[in-house]
Structure 1
Amino acid sequence: MDVLEPADGAVAGRAVATSLLANMPGLADDMLRYLVERIPEIGADEELRGLTLGSCSSNLEAVLSMVRHGIDVTAAEAPVTALEHARAMASRGHSVDVMLRFYRLGHEYFTEKLSHSIADWIEDPAVALRTFTYLERYGFRYIDRISSLVAAEYVAELDRRQNQARAERADIVRALLAGERVDTARAERVMGHRLTGRQIGFVCWVHERGVDLEGIARQVGGLLGGSHSLVVADGPLAVWGWVAITGEVRSSLAGMARELSGDVESVHVAVGSPHPGAAGFRTSHLEALRTRRVIELSRRAAPSITAFADIALVDAISRDLDAARSFVAAQLGDLARADTKARDERAALLAVLDAQGSFVTAARALGIHRNTVLQRVRRAEERRGRPATNNIGELHAALLVCHVLGASVLRGSSSR
């Protein structure tokens, strides 16, 4: 037997390709049946089934025609139906792995077809082997190239749809926050968020990149009592979140911080109060933003979870910061200074007022002796220039503002 040159496989392969092209409709139908049996995602989706048949037909015709005419595989381009098939897979939410499985199984079908039929076309076993090897390798290189092209189209289509969904969601969120009338059913469908029941808005933010804010926001939403969180990015360092709740809100936000996982030690969280319906979606969000403003005014170093209900009075008083400073100065006198002694005396006086006059309760809250509390309260009254029983409501408010905002409202502070 004569030794065959490598070119013999290519020459015989062209004849095989020509033979297969003559039965293209039957070959495509057979490949479709092969795929349907192995890929359940095709199921009863007639449109996807039709696109799969079109992709089988166009890819088979393309690869066999290229072999027949000796065209280098690097010239292959993805057929229109193959690209449309990739877009359809993306639109239906199938994974890219499922989409690429069509091509892996298609190559498997092509290889099996050749292995079972090559002897029908070529009698000489040596030539048959060379021809099979040539066609199988050509088919592999074709699939490798085309699968990369359709995967890129799949990703592009997924990005287009996700960008469109994000844009639609952002538009609905903007309309709700602007107080505009919206179609509730459409809004809920676009956002994937219920507007019935009570709404809680919250904000999570950091000062440096590298934190999975969306993941932490979803944890916060779950701990607040929501089964699903709507999370919208507010630039690279912050996210806005909402949950719709039907039960009770967790009473201890401080305890939530211990239950969060991830880089929570660098994340600030501001939480609005629960309010009903679409109007509550806006109101609670605005409260969360106002809470964030107060936290940032306080220059708080350690991140924490802060509820609007805990700083609502401070927020109201500090809307005009200059007026808040004047109010604090008028109520506290020399007690409104940014030094350690004044801070300790303010803390003692605030603790006593919080305890409704109980020095024992105040001492327990501060972790110091009752007599120490008494001494600090007396010195605080001396600095103030009048007893603590004078204008108790205003005094309590001024002390609370100092406690939350610190240097932002005190005299003699270099941070102001």
Structure 2
Amino acid sequence: MVRLEPSPRVRELIREAAWIALHPSQDWLDAFDQATLAAYPSIGEDPALAAIISRSNRTNLIHFAAANLREPGASVPPNLGAEQVRMARELVRRGVDSVALEVYRIGHNVALRRWTEIVFGLTSDPAELRELLDGPVRSANEFVDATLAGLAAQMQQERDQLTRDIHAQRHRIVENILDGAPFNSEQAEAKLGYPLDGSHTAMIIWSDEPDDYHNELDRAAEAVVSTAGSPLALTVVPDAATRWLWSQDAAGFDITNVRHALSNAPGARAAIGTTAPGMDGFRTSHFDALTTQRTLARMRSTQRVALFGAIEMVALLTHDLASTDKFIANTLGDFESASRELHATLLAFIRQQCNASRAAKVLYIHRNTLLHRVEAAQKLLPRPLDETTLHVGIALEVLQWRGDHAEDYGKKRTEQQPGVAPTGSR
């Protein structure tokens, strides 16, 4: 909208009104403070915060009036000086940043009433009054809107910084706990907001994707905690691509719940440790989750959610991948390149102690179908199954996790055994 230049007479009246506004009485200032804080008694009862808000509001008055004294009727730039930045920081750190909008609006309304009183005391000419009210009031509205927009951006920066500070403090405390360094448990619990006694289940959520996906991790961690439904949960941010979690409700980190929580975060993956009691449990569960994560990475597994209990043996057997691959090749022979369906069938058969009826029930297939598949598998094995059952079972367990043959193993086992959690489920 094109702003009309005030007439010379109105410019002088605006300058005179601005001068009066710059020199209010103490009574008016006190009434101004009371009006802006009356809607929030809790703030008014905090002398330090009340003083900060009062100074911020008063600097807005001075900023606007001084701008009109210099250039009557011109647009006024937003006021984002030191007092506004300080108020933004204090409101955010005290968790009452939503108050800023209302406080500024109330102050704006009180100031506009004061401006109306001033201009009516300077002239009674209708045309002059129209210019004195229309132009400056529109300018004041634009000024407050621009100032609030800048203040909102500043408060977002303060929120981001506060979050970083909290996460950095939590990370330092947790690192000390994991390292076994001495610390005051009561102080640590207070700063973490998480009890260190009881039992703990740890989880690591991470992303192998580019930086654009790292924002998903916070949402994924929040979804996991929300799905867990327990207030006794802790989230730590060790780096941009990783989130560490602990819960005292072991059922909350059940693999099915975690998979559901990650459904809207396609770049996120999760490794879940065992459940263990006390401070040692806090550490060991995390290290179990870390072992799970590293095993998946080492084997280039595409598994998105994995339990330590399901991968523990594989972790022990795969430190030397070249030797592991050689063991699989020697044990399985041509069967290594068979279909996943055939692998899954033989693995289920071995897990059920080579009992065809039980294995068929687990796989939801007919017993004869299972026997045909087992017979087909045995023809591809280099040695008879009854002589190499243990070795074949181990090779197939490892193969389930290898990147070129990975399936959602935890999910498969859950589906195969309704009502029975996979080994290691907590």
The 5 Å alignment of 1:10-49 reads: 10-40=11-41, 42-49=43-50
The residue number in structure 1 matching 2:161 is: 160
Q: Deviation per CA, 1:196-254: give whole Å up to 9, x if none.
A: 22222222344544472322233333445633543345655x432323215x536962x
Q: Does 1:227 align with 2:228?
A: no
Give 1:374 shift: 4.0
Q: Is the 8 A contact 2:216 2:267 kept in 1?
A: no
State how far apart, in whole Å, the 2-side matches of 1:320 and 1:305 are.
23
Cα pair distance change 1:154/1:25, threshold 3 Å: farther
Give 1:75 shift: 6.5
Q: Does 1:243 align with 2:246?
A: yes
Q: Deviation per CA, 1:315-358: give whole Å up to 9, x if none.
A: 1122232343454456x2636x53217x6665444323311231
The residue number in structure 1 matching 2:422 is: none
Among residues 345, 353, 360, which one is paired with 2:357 in the alignment?
360
Q: Deviation per CA, 1:38-73: give whole Å up to 9, x if none.
A: 345624111111122223333333433443444755
The residue number in structure 2 matching 1:174 is: 175
The residue number in structure 2 matching 1:413 is: none
Cα pair distance change 1:345/1:252, threshold 3 Å: same
Cα pair distance change 1:146/1:265, threshold 3 Å: closer
Q: Does 1:320 align with 2:286?
A: no
Runs of 4+ in 1 over 6 A off after TM superposition: none
**Structure 1, 131-140 or 105-114: larger mean CA deviation:** 131-140
The one-letter code of the counterpart of 2:363 is: L
**Structure 1, 122-131 or 48-57: larger mean CA deviation:** 122-131
The one-letter code of the counterpart of 1:198 is: S
Cα pair distance change 1:200/1:102, threshold 3 Å: same
The 5 Å alignment of 1:290-305 reads: 290-296=291-297, 299-301=300-302, 303-305=303-305
Cα pair distance change 1:26/1:79, threshold 3 Å: farther
- In structure 2, runs of 5+ residues without a counterpart are 1-5, 407-426
Task: Give RMSD over aligned pairs.
Answer: 3.6
State how far apart, in whole Å, the 1-side matches of 2:252 and 2:165 are.
35
Q: Is the 8 A contact 1:275 1:284 kept in 2?
A: yes
State how far apart, in whole Å, the 2-side matches of 1:55 and 1:130 are.
28
Give 1:163 shift: 2.6
Cα pair distance change 1:195/1:12, threshold 3 Å: same
The residue number in structure 2 matching 1:334 is: 333
The one-letter code of the counterpart of 2:359 is: A
The 5 Å alignment of 1:62-73 reads: 62-70=63-71
Give 1:111 shift: 1.2
Q: Deviation per CA, 1:263-309: give whole Å up to 9, x if none.
A: 256643221111223332332222222223333455555x5432111
The residue number in structure 2 matching 1:284 is: 285
Give 3-state SS (helix, strand or coil) of 2:103's partner: helix
Among residues 81, 90, 93, which one is paired with 1:91 in the alignment?
93
Give 1:392 shift: 5.3
The higher radius of gyration belongs to 1
The one-letter code of the counterpart of 1:361 is: R
State how far apart, in whole Å, the 2-side matches of 1:58 and 1:230 are.
42
The residue number in structure 1 matching 2:56 is: 55
Q: Deviation per CA, 1:108-127: give whole Å up to 9, x if none.
A: 11112233453334343443
The one-letter code of the counterpart of 1:305 is: V
Q: Does 1:218 align with 2:222?
A: yes
Q: Deviation per CA, 1:350-386: give whole Å up to 9, x if none.
A: 3233112311112233344434544554665673435
The 5 Å alignment of 1:102-251 reads: 102-208=103-209, 209-210=212-213, 212-224=216-228, 226-227=230-231, 229-233=233-237, 238-246=241-249, 249=251
State how far apart, in whole Å, the 2-side matches of 1:139 and 1:363 are.
78
Cα pair distance change 1:294/1:35, threshold 3 Å: same
- In structure 1, runs of 5+ residues without a counterpart are 410-416
Q: Is the 8 A contact 2:360 2:367 kept in 1?
A: yes
Give 1:399 shift: 3.7
The one-letter code of the counterpart of 1:317 is: L
State how far apart, in whole Å, the 1-side matches of 2:385 and 2:111 are.
95
Cα pair distance change 1:322/1:181, threshold 3 Å: farther
